[in-house]
Structures are given as structure tokens and as C-alpha cells.
Chain A
Amino acid sequence: MDAPSLSLVPHDWFWLYDIPTHRLAMLFVASFVAFYWFGCVFLRPILRQFVKYNAGANDIIGYVLSCFGVFYGLLLGLIAVTAYQNVADAGASVTREAAALSALYEDVSRYPDPYGQNLRWLLRDYTRYVIRYAWPLQRRGIIPQEGTIRVDAFHEELLDFQPGTPAQEILHAEALRQFNHFLEARRTRLFTVTSGLPTSMWYVMFLGAILTLAICWLFEMRFVTQLVLGGILAAYLGLMMFLIFDMNQPFRGDVSIPPDAFESIFQRMNEE
């Protein structure tokens, strides 16, 4: 079942995350430059009518662009930091979940069989599911649902165990505590699958980029110079947008958080 979206970039654009990163970067840059050049050819002659007869118009436009650029640059910078923080948080939640899972596996390995064996099987099954099935779903922006069933199965089996000795009571209490840590980290991971920048931020960023480029169309300069200088600015704006877009979904795209932590644990679980 597809996960409900928490807003963000409209899902219609999520296929973009399936494009290899370097090509996606080129696509962003090419789109921005193409838009700018298109405007140079078709919109610039119209816009320049407003400033054509004003002496020193370029100075005024340059001043406006500088002011605008400061605010817009700040906005882009802050958003980029937020997006990076989102990636870092998601990575941390994955590491926390994997660490809790590993500790839990160690705890239940001390349980008497068949409880211990069943619990180990269930944790291995969960880890395998996360690597093989949950991660590809996350890469498609879908919150994996069936991991919850596996967690419930483990929880049920864990609660079924009745400690028979004081040592087992301590072990069981520790396993339950570790299980709660694991649950918390798992929920954080699932939440970050669809978390990202609100749609309104994307509107502001794109509108800001369009306005920046539109201001550049007002400059009085040679056409080729206009194409080159404005093209460079458009390319840079495209790169910034790409950076934010790519980091906005920590589990999506080529350069996303990998399931390495789980793979390492699974390998160890199967080595014993």
C-alpha cells in the first residue's frame, strides 16, 4: 500500500529520483539554462521595454538583483542546511535502529530454546525483510508496511517468555528495554521515508529562481554576453535546486542512505 504523503514535492515528480544522480544534475542545470535562454530570446525584448530609456538602468537593476540575491541566497542556504539535516537525521535513525537490533539479537540469543531460537529467527527475518524488501520500497518513496507484522510477531513471542530465574528476569527486562529503543528508531526511519520540505517552500524557491533570472533579462548588454553570464547564473541556480531536491528525500535516488548497517548485522547473524 502506498504511504500517505506528508506534503512535499508533488508525488508526480518522484520519478525524477529514479534518474542516476549525475544525469539528474545535468537535467536540472540544462532545464534552468534552457529556461533562461528561452526567456532571453522571447521575453527579454518585452521586459526591456520598461527600462529601455532609463539612463543607468543597469546600475538600478544590479542594485535590485543584489538585494534580492541576498535574501534569496539566504533562503536557499537555510533550506539546503535543513535538507542536509534531514539526511543526517535519517542516517542517524538507521544507525540507531541497526544498533538496537544488534543488541536485541544479542540479548535474545541468551534465552533458552525454543524461545531464543524463535526470537533469533524472527529478528533475522525482520533484518532480511528490511534489506531485501523495505529498502527498495523506501527508494520508491513508499513506507514499507509488512515490517510491522514482523515486529508484532517478535513482540508477541518476546512477551510469551516467562523468566524462570532472576538472571532471566534481568535479561528479559533488558531485552524489553532494547526492544523499545529499536521501535523508536524504526518509527523515526519510517517517518523520514516521506518527510521533506513543504510544498510551499518549493513554490517560493522556484518562484525566486524565476524572478532572479527575470531580473537578469532586464540588463542592457550584448546578447551573447547576456546568454553566457545569465546562463552561468541559471546553471548555478539549477545546481542549488538539484542539491536541495536530492537531499530532500534521504532514502530516494542514487545517492541515498544505504542499508549497510543492516547488511552488516544480517551477515553476522548468519555467520554464527
Chain B
Amino acid sequence: MKPAVPAIRSRESQSRVTRRQSLGAGAAATLAAARTLAPVLFTGCSLGLPARARPIMLGLLHSQTGTLAISETSVRDAEILAIEEINAAGGVLGRPLEFRCPDPKSRAADLFPKRARHLCEEDGVAALFGCWTSTSRKAVIPVCTEFDRLLFYPVQYEGNESASHCVYGGSVPNQQILPAVDWLLSSAGGPRRRIFLVGSDYIFPRTANFVVKKHLAARGIEPVGEAYVPLGHRQFRGVVEMIGASRADAVLSTVNGDSNVALFEEFAAAGIDPEKVPVISTSIGEDELRHLAPREVAGHYAASSYFQSVATDPNRDWVGRFRREFGYDRVTSDPMEAASTLVHAWKAAVERAGSLDTAAVRQALSAGIEVPGPGGPFRIDPKTQHAVKRFRLGRIRLDRQFDIVHESAATIEPDPYPQSAFPGWKCDWTKGGLEQGPEVRIDGDV
């Protein structure tokens, strides 16, 4: 019997792989590759693609060219810083914030509403932050109302307005100009009773001075004079002569923009001493002071709610953060502080509402929103949608900063319709909105 010999297979036969085996291996490889690539093909998520939450778009509507650019650009920067801080802290409702920042080119009547419309219609912004002059604000509010978006307005203004789709972050006269007048009338301010009113010729100065005159009239005082000049006006000799002739012992200035340079040059040339005839300006902040010669303005005053020199830790932190981001020589001002805080207030309202819906955000605002701000706690008054503000009076220093010489003991509730000026007019958005009184006529081109 032959021993069993193991079958010798050729090398070729040993290594031959049958078609069935190959197909099996190929199918397995294909399945393995498909398993690996499927998530990529269908979701793209397993190849290191960053997960992106849908961002919330905000509109920042500030002039970046034109006469208002320098002031408005600083406000825009404060808003950008606030947005970046919110994003660094996780965003709003778990979503990052993005912004569009078109340029309305300081053209209040035509480009502001046009850009606002584009932001609402094309960019789908959840809210708008911006405007500077009252003309621009009044032009944008109807667009916001049409598209059901809120406008957050950061600048002090004349009052006599309370729009449902606007949240006002700046002071109204009873929080800024009237306390300044009261200070002049008090022993701390003099007292001074011969007050001259000078302003640029547009809505804010005309209306603000109307309110001031009514306020003074209630105290039996009449201004010794009143003068208005066009925006951008540079010839103030006549005005200063009028002030001299009136024997005024104080000037309340609502002059805006570049005109202040010529106004204070003329004051200095006429030898008006700030100790004897102080000027209280409502539209001069740290940014505007950069354009004025310190020796010509030092000793005069500015009425505001915030100054960079406010000596609190939150303010020092904020100023430090702003300078780190935007430059060692940048300054902060009242509208910038309001703009930054408004962005945080909007965040707080959206998070309380749990939604970006404007009605829900307004509802949250009406429940009372308070956030910390550089100038102190910042609260939106639910009745008027205006900010509750503190009054501060600053004396201009040679280093273009302010010494705070007076500060209201407490925050002041906003009253866009002081009864001395607008009898019968009231606003309470928690109870139906605006209640109109008799028509009030304000002299001049308002």
C-alpha cells in the first residue's frame, strides 16, 4: 500500500485566488470604504468639518464716511466689541452673532432708510443698532416697523417720541439737559439765571430748547437770548456778540458737529472766561474734544450720562478692553457706552424671550431688563422703552478728558414727554402705548 503522499500543489495553484474569493474581498473592501465615507458623503461630519450653528445676523447702521463718520465709527466699534464679547461667551441662544455694517454715508434722509431696508429684506437681520441724528432715526423707524424689527438707538436725543419698534439707549431732556439747567440754577452752579440758548438748526436743538424754555418758565425764568446756526456753520462772531450783549452768565449749547470748533475759537477770542460765563454743551464728548483746542474749551462743561473718566472698575475694564482691541489712543464716550450696553440688553431680552421674534423680545423688555454697563447698571424702562440713566456733569480738562463735578444721586427714569412741554402726552407700552395730548407746536424747522 502506498503511503499517503500529500498532494503537491503548484506554487501557482497555491496562490491562485478564485474569482468568487476576489469578488467577496472586493465587496468587503467596497462595503468598508462605503462605511468610512458614508458620513462624509451624507453629512460631511466625520472628516473634521467644524460644526456650525446658524449665526444670528445683526445690522449695525452707522455712517462710516461723511460728516458724521468719526463719531459714528466709534459707536460702531463699541457695538462690534460687544458682539465679540457675546460670541466669546457662547453667543445668543447657543448661536454665534454676525453683523452687517453698511455705510449710509451720513445721508440721513435717503441712505439710512435704504440701507435699513436692505438689512431687513436681504440680510435678514434680527435687530438693528444704529443711527445718530434724529433725522436718521425718524427715517429708519418706519422701515423697522414695516419689517417688524427693533431699532436700538444709542444717542441722547430730544424726546417727544416713543416708537414701538425703537429702544432708546440715550438720555432724553429730563435725564440730561434739564438736570444741567437745574445745576446752573443751584448754588453749586452759581446760581446763574441769565441763560443763553445756542444750537444747531435742526430737530434736536429746537425741541430740546423748547423743553428747556418751558422748564425755565415753570421757575419764572426766561432765557436772555436764543440763536440757531445751520449744521456745519463756522461764523460765530455774531452769536458771541449777541451773548455778550445779553449779559448772559451761562450758555447752554446744543451746537453739533464741527461747528463747535469755530464756536469755542470765537469764545476764546472774545475772552469769555469759563468761570464767569460757562458753556454747558450737550453734544460734546471725548471724541469731539479731539477736534477742539484744549486751551479754548478747558473749564467749560458737558452734560452727559457717561464719561470715560467714570472711576469704577467695570468702566476701567471696559475702557481697557476697548483700547486693547481698537488702539491705545482711542477714547470712549456716552453714545459708545450706550451702544455697547444696548447690545448686551438685546442679548438679555432675547434669552429671556427664548426667541428672536420681535414681539417676544418686546414682551421680555416690558418685563424689565437690567444689565451691568460701564457707566453703572443699565435698565430699560418697560413703559417707554427708554434707558434709565444717571446724570453726570463733566468739566473739560486740558488733557481732553472730563472731571465729573456733579452726579445725580440716583438714576433718573426717562420721560420723553415732560409735562411742562408736552401736557397730556404719555407713553406706557405696558398699557397700550402712546396717549396723545393736545398738539404742541415747536418753533423753527423741526
Stretch with Cβ within 8 A of B (4 or more), from A56-64, A82-90, A149-157: A149-157
Asked if A34 CB lies within 8 Å of chain B CBs, one says yes
Query: Count of A-B contacts with CB under 8 A?
Result: 91
B84 and chain A: residue at smallest CB distance: A132
Expressed in whole angstroms, the Cα–Cα distance for A97 and B159 within the complex equals 47
User: Residues of A contacting B247 with CB < 8 Å?
Assistant: none
User: Residues of B contacting A271 with CB < 8 Å?
Assistant: 328
Asked if B17 CB lies within 8 Å of chain A CBs, one says yes
User: Residues of B contacting A31 with CB < 8 Å?
Assistant: 37
- Indicate whether A37 sits within 8 Å of B29 (C-beta atoms), given known contacts A23-B47, A223-B22: yes
Asked if A191 CB lies within 8 Å of chain B CBs, one says no
A34 and chain B: residue at smallest CB distance: B33
Stretch with Cβ within 8 A of A (4 or more), from B63-71, B140-148, B226-234, B377-385: B63-71
A131 to chain B, nearest CB (A): 11
User: Residues of B contacting A34 with CB < 8 Å?
Assistant: 30, 33, 37
- Indicate whether A121 sits within 8 Å of B36 (C-beta atoms), given known contacts A114-B291, A150-B64, A152-B65: no
Asked if A125 CB lies within 8 Å of chain B CBs, one says yes
- A151-205 interface (Cβ within 8 A of B): 152-153, 156-157
Expressed in whole angstroms, the Cα–Cα distance for A149 and B22 within the complex equals 63
A18 and chain B: residue at smallest CB distance: B49
Expressed in whole angstroms, the Cα–Cα distance for A250 and B313 within the complex equals 45
User: Residues of A contacting B29 with CB < 8 Å?
Assistant: 37
Query: B102 near A20 (CB under 8 angstroms)?
Result: no
B82 to chain A, nearest CB (A): 14
- A114-146 interface (Cβ within 8 A of B): 114, 117-118, 120-122, 124-125, 128, 132, 146
Query: A124 near B65 (CB under 8 angstroms)?
Result: no
B325 CB contact (under 8 Å) in A18, A128, A156, A227: A128
User: Residues of B contacting A19 with CB < 8 Å?
Assistant: 44, 47-49
Query: A27 near B47 (CB under 8 angstroms)?
Result: yes
Asked if A71 CB lies within 8 Å of chain B CBs, one says no
- Indicate whether A270 sits within 8 Å of B328 (C-beta atoms), given known contacts A149-B103, A153-B64, A153-B73: yes
Query: B290 near A114 (CB under 8 angstroms)?
Result: yes
A146 CB contact (under 8 Å) in B22, B101, B330: B101
- Indicate whether A156 sits within 8 Å of B37 (C-beta atoms), given known contacts A34-B30, A149-B102: no
Query: A223 near B326 (CB under 8 angstroms)?
Result: no
Expressed in whole angstroms, the Cα–Cα distance for A156 and B66 within the complex equals 8
B84 to chain A, nearest CB (A): 8
B23 CB contact (under 8 Å) in A41, A113, A146: A41
A101 to chain B, nearest CB (A): 15
A112 to chain B, nearest CB (A): 12
Query: A117 near B290 (CB under 8 angstroms)?
Result: yes
- A27-48 interface (Cβ within 8 A of B): 27, 30-31, 34, 37-38, 40-41
Query: B17 near A125 (CB under 8 angstroms)?
Result: no
User: Residues of A contacting B325 with CB < 8 Å?
Assistant: 128
* A-contact 0/1 string along B96-124, CB 8 Å cutoff: 00001111000000000000000000000
A38 and chain B: residue at smallest CB distance: B30
A113 and chain B: residue at smallest CB distance: B290
Asked if A108 CB lies within 8 Å of chain B CBs, one says no
User: Residues of A contacting B48 with CB < 8 Å?
Assistant: 19-20, 23
Asked if B327 CB lies within 8 Å of chain A CBs, one says yes
Expressed in whole angstroms, the Cα–Cα distance for A38 and B291 within the complex equals 74
Query: A149 near B64 (CB under 8 angstroms)?
Result: yes
B50 CB contact (under 8 Å) in A18, A38, A122, A223: A18
User: Residues of A contacting B326 with CB < 8 Å?
Assistant: 121, 124-125, 128
User: Residues of B contacting A222 with CB < 8 Å?
Assistant: 16-17
Expressed in whole angstroms, the Cα–Cα distance for A128 and B19 within the complex equals 63
Asked if A269 CB lies within 8 Å of chain B CBs, one says yes
Expressed in whole angstroms, the Cα–Cα distance for A40 and B17 within the complex equals 15
- Indicate whether A125 sits within 8 Å of B73 (C-beta atoms), given known contacts A41-B26, A117-B290, A150-B64: yes
* B-contact 0/1 string along A231-272, CB 8 Å cutoff: 000000000000000000000000000000000000001111
B44 CB contact (under 8 Å) in A15, A37, A153: A15
Expressed in whole angstroms, the Cα–Cα distance for A113 and B287 within the complex equals 13
A271 and chain B: residue at smallest CB distance: B328
B65 CB contact (under 8 Å) in A38, A40, A153: A153
User: Residues of B contacting A227 with CB < 8 Å?
Assistant: 26
Asked if B77 CB lies within 8 Å of chain A CBs, one says yes
Asked if B40 CB lies within 8 Å of chain A CBs, one says yes
A123 and chain B: residue at smallest CB distance: B327
Expressed in whole angstroms, the Cα–Cα distance for A153 and B66 within the complex equals 8
User: Residues of A contacting B330 with CB < 8 Å?
Assistant: 121
Expressed in whole angstroms, the Cα–Cα distance for A272 and B323 within the complex equals 12
A121 CB contact (under 8 Å) in B17, B84, B100, B327: B327
A73 to chain B, nearest CB (A): 27
Expressed in whole angstroms, the Cα–Cα distance for A225 and B418 within the complex equals 93
B49 CB contact (under 8 Å) in A15, A156, A224: A15
Asked if B329 CB lies within 8 Å of chain A CBs, one says yes
Q: Give the 10 A-B residue pairs with the shortest CB-CB distance, closest first.
A: A41-B26, A20-B48, A149-B103, A19-B47, A223-B22, A34-B33, A23-B47, A114-B290, A153-B64, A153-B65
11 CB-based A-B contacts, threshold 8 Å: A18-B44, A41-B26, A113-B290, A121-B326, A132-B84, A149-B102, A153-B103, A156-B66, A222-B17, A223-B17, A224-B22
Task: Give A residues with C-beta under 8 Å from B.
Answer: 15, 18-20, 23-24, 27, 30-31, 34, 37-38, 40-41, 113-114, 117-118, 120-122, 124-125, 128, 132, 146, 149-150, 152-153, 156-157, 222-224, 227, 269-272
Contacts A146-B102, A152-B65 known; 11 new A-B pairs at CB < 8 A: A15-B44, A18-B44, A19-B47, A37-B30, A40-B26, A114-B291, A117-B329, A124-B326, A124-B327, A125-B77, A227-B26
